[in-house]
Amino acid sequence: MITVRFPSGFSVQYNNATTVETLPEGSHDIVSKEPRRWYARVPAGCLVEGINPCRTYNAAREESELALKSQIEQLRKEVRSLGRKVGKVSK
């Protein structure tokens, strides 16, 4: 199993890949040896790992998603509060 981490933080896991071949221009081919199978060519700026990660994710976006969820929850609370205030005014 080989994982490729792109500079943006996004990661791709190739479950059946077993070999990384570095090309003269610095990019890498992700392949399996037996049977020979080509999976991808990745640019030189990527980090190629030969370990078993648990998932595929974009590390750069994960924190921003948590921040968005927090903001959404705060907005829900505010909408509920405004709904109660509108209910009091209309009575």
Kindly state whether residues 8 and 48 are assigned to the same domain: yes
pTM of the model: 0.53
Kindly state whether residues 4 and 35 are assigned to the same domain: yes
Kindly state whether residues 8 and 45 are assigned to the same domain: yes
CA distance from start to end of the chain: 65
Indicate if the alpha-carbon torsion angle 63, 65, 69, 70 is positive or negative: positive
pLDDT at residue 57, rounded to an integer:
65
Kindly state whether residues 70 and 43 are assigned to the same domain: no
Kindly state whether residues 69 and 45 are assigned to the same domain: no
pLDDT at residue 53, rounded to an integer:
54
pLDDT at residue 41, rounded to an integer:
95
Query: What average pLDDT does the structure give for the chain?
Result: 84
Q: What residues make up the domain containing 66?
A: 61-91
| Number of alpha carbons in the 13 Å side-chain half-sphere of residue 76 | 6
pLDDT at residue 37, rounded to an integer:
92
Q: Give 29's pLDDT tier (boundaries 50, 70, 90).
A: very high
- Residue 61 vs residue 20, higher pLDDT: 20
One-character DSSP codes across 25-74: TS-EEEEETTTTEEEEEE-TTSEEE-S--S---BHHHHHHHHHHHHHHHH
